[in-house]
Amino acid sequence: MSLRRKLTMALWLNAGLATLLLCLALIAVQSHQFRAQINERLTAVGDVAGANSAAAILFDDAKNAAQTLGALSTNRTVMAAGLYRKDGTLLAEYDRTRGDGFAPPKAAPPVGTQDSGAVFSVTRPVLLDGEVVGVICVVSGLQELYQDLLSYVAITVVTLVACTGLGMLVFLRLMRLLLVPIHALTQTARRVSSEKTYSIRARAGALDEVGELIGAFNEMLGEIELRDRELAGHRNNLEAVVGERTQELRLAKEKAEEGGRLKGEFLANMSHEIRTPINGIVGMTGLALATPLNAEQTEYLDAIRVSADSLEVVINDILDFSKIEAGRMDLDIVPYDLHEMVADTVKTLLVSAREKGIALYTRVDPGMARRIMGDPMRVRQILLNLLANALKFTPQGEVVLDVTPAGQQNEIPLVCFSVRDTGIGVPAGKLAAIFEPFLQVDGSVTRQYGGTGLGLSISTKLVGMMGGQLRVESELGKGSRFWFIVPAPLAVASALPEFHSLPEVVLASSKALRVLVAEDNLVNQRLTERLLQKMGHCVTATGDGAEAVAKWQAHQFDLVLMDVQMPVMGGFEATACIREHERITGNHIPIIALTAHAIRGDRERCMEAGMDDYVAKPIQVEALAAAIERASRSLVKENASL
């Protein structure tokens, strides 16, 4: 609603209210005055008529009394009258309207005035020589009053309408004077808000409140314009600062990435440098143990093998831990057989449990699905850590592995793995600390039981990556229970289980192959050579990639085992060289990478370089045999297709 309309409405409302109040006041005053006058008149008429009728009442002369009352017909105010004896009974009456509602009452009313709104009556005593002989009641109507009031109201309304109309004309002229500058101000404000230009100003008005308002508005615009300019300046400045900081951050990020890359490289090199000699020690000890030895030599070699095995475990743990820390550990989610994985894991610990005289039980709930999705190698690693701990810290009693369904989360089934023992337990104060890397309950643990304190921290991280949490409850001297719950989505029916317990490998290969081995480390070279010979293959060994390529060109081979890091020419370059030559001949010799590199992406890099398979060092006889078996099968297929 516009301001003009609001003000007009206010004016009419005001005038209407004033009219109403004035009318009400006039009506009140007028009716009061009219009543006072009529009261006076009727009292006078009553007193005169009463005095004239006193003798008629005294002698109970109704006829005379009626005549006296009839004389009242000359007075137009009197509508009716009644004369009453001393006992209150009606002696005579006069009724001008003859039964039109003004007839006097049948019994004498009390002395005074009666006002019913339509009828007004006055009752007076009739005196004779100062003594009351009866009463007279004179009745009048109030129509006259109402007619007067009606005309008053009409006059008032007409006058007020005329006055308000005139006032309206004046008001509208004044309004124009007032509203024009306000309207201009509104237009300016609209432009400012739609165009966002703070440089325009409203036209200055007269020296009144509106003029003051326009002045203040213009001042405010000036202020905003100034701030706007300052803000734009700051923004430009800020953009420059942000640009600078972004550049700094980018440099810092690049530096951090470079650091991460160097760390990764260091990890790869360290794994290579440490695993290669371990490979040699483990393999050679195995070979030496298979030769005729005296009891003392067997004992020493057994000790060497045990030490090398535990050294390998430590190195693997440190590598896993570093990989997790560097965020380079990925889960390999595949369908697998849960029951088989559990049985297989426990199998590896049965011997040590038996040697210690501890009962090792496994209970897989029959309701637990067989084929589920997950990373079987990592679940196995966690279970091995927990079971190894349980066996290590339990001098007598039992260790129980329970695998049970644990409900659902977001419609995905959950599985709970729990390892309980009757061992030494963990003090309550140390329950949180044992999950920290390199922390054990106290220093004596290492001395008494060995270990680096990494198993639980690696397991905690792995369980976390799987979306669960590794938990513990333990009572000192009574035993402990470690458990975790992780999602176990059901594998789709068509998905083949990719995890198998290691098959019984036939070490003697089905077919004797001519194998070219490229390996710079002499101990490993010799070890590989021996292993292959034991499998029944014919071996040619070389010390670097270039020599291997030359030998491959000069002689016929069925298979190449290629180390990755070698002097003169590395495994990747040698493979590329061989594959390049093969493009002309159309042949394809299987090349199996032999590498101590153990970090993520190595397998992919080998495949990209043109190799066909991958065997990690330290060489596991079974893994090598399986890879050779696959290669010889592919050779058979190739020959058949030729």
Ligand X SMILES: Nc1ncnc2c1ncn2[C@@H]1O[C@H](COP(=O)(O)OP(=O)(O)OP(=O)(O)O)[C@@H](O)[C@H]1O
Asked if 134 and 85 count as a contact pair (C-beta separation under 8 A), the reply is: yes
Which one of ligand X, Mg ion, none is in contact with 108 (Cβ closer than 5 to 8 A by kind)?
Answer: none
Q: How many residues contact ligand X, by CB under 6 A?
A: 22
CA–CA separation, 418 and 471 (whole Å): 9
Mapped onto helix, strand or coil, the DSSP state of residue 81 is: strand
Determine if 317 is a binding residue for ligand X (CB under 6 A). Answer: yes
DSSP for 16-52, please give it: HHHHHHHHHHHHHHHHHHHHHHHHHHHHHHHHHHHHH
Asked if 593 and 581 count as a contact pair (C-beta separation under 8 A), the reply is: no
Closest approach of Cβ 320 to ligand X, in Å? 10
Closest approach of Cβ 389 to Mg ion, in Å? 4
Closest approach of Cβ 325 to ligand X, in Å? 15
Nearer to ligand X, 201 or 481 (CB): 481
Q: How far is CA 265 from the centre of its chain?
A: 40
Three state DSSP letters for 527-586: HHHHHHHHCCCEEEEECCHHHHHHHHHHCCCCEEEEECCCCCCCHHHHHHHHHHHHHHHC
- Of 1-9, 67-75, 383-391, 583-591, the segment contacting Mg ion by CB under 5 A is 383-391
Please name the helix (run of DSSP H) or strand (run of DSSP E) that holds residue 55, with its range, or none: helix 3-58
Closest approach of Cβ 580 to ligand X, in Å? 46
Mapped onto helix, strand or coil, the DSSP state of residue 493 is: coil
Closest approach of Cβ 433 to ligand X, in Å? 8
Determine if 451 is a binding residue for ligand X (CB under 6 A). Answer: yes
User: Site for ligand X (CB under 6 A): which residue of 123, 418, 480, 525?
Assistant: 480
Determine if 452 is a binding residue for ligand X (CB under 6 A). Answer: yes
Sorted by sequence, the CB contacts under 8 Å of residue 77 that are 6+ apart come out as: 38, 41, 42, 45, 140
Which one of Mg ion, ligand X, none is in contact with 49 (Cβ closer than 5 to 8 A by kind)?
Answer: none
Which one of ligand X, Mg ion, none is in contact with 121 (Cβ closer than 5 to 8 A by kind)?
Answer: none
Nearer to Mg ion, 102 or 321 (CB): 321
Which one of ligand X, Mg ion, none is in contact with 46 (Cβ closer than 5 to 8 A by kind)?
Answer: none
- Of 205-213, 274-282, 389-397, 423-431, the segment contacting Mg ion by CB under 5 A is 389-397
Task: Extract long-range pairs of 179-184: CB within 8 Å, 24+ residues apart.
Answer: 179/3, 179/4, 181/205, 181/206, 181/210, 181/211, 181/214, 182/3, 182/210
Nearer to ligand X, 317 or 612 (CB): 317
CA–CA separation, 463 and 336 (whole Å): 18
- Burial label, 2 (beta-carbon count in 10 A; 0-12, 13-18, 19+): exposed
Mapped onto helix, strand or coil, the DSSP state of residue 474 is: strand
Nearer to Mg ion, 405 or 453 (CB): 453
User: Site for Mg ion (CB under 5 A): which residue of 140, 389, 418, 542?
Assistant: 389
Closest approach of Cβ 534 to ligand X, in Å? 33
User: Site for Mg ion (CB under 5 A): which residue of 455, 468, 545, 590?
Assistant: 455
Determine if 470 is a binding residue for ligand X (CB under 6 A). Answer: no
Q: How many residues contact Mg ion, by CB under 5 A?
A: 2
Bridge partners (DSSP) of residue 473 are 481
- Of 165-173, 454-462, 514-522, 529-537, the segment contacting ligand X by CB under 6 A is 454-462
Nearer to Mg ion, 384 or 465 (CB): 384
Backbone angles phi, psi at 553, to 5 degrees: -75, -35
Bridge partners (DSSP) of residue 127 are 132
Q: Which of residues 386-445 bind ligand X (CB under 6 A)?
A: 389-390, 393, 421, 423-426, 434, 440-441, 445
Nearer to ligand X, 421 or 558 (CB): 421
Binding residues for ligand X, rule: CB under 6 A, are 317, 385, 389-390, 393, 421, 423-426, 434, 440-441, 445, 451-457, 480
Interacting residues toward Mg ion by CB under 5 A = 389, 455
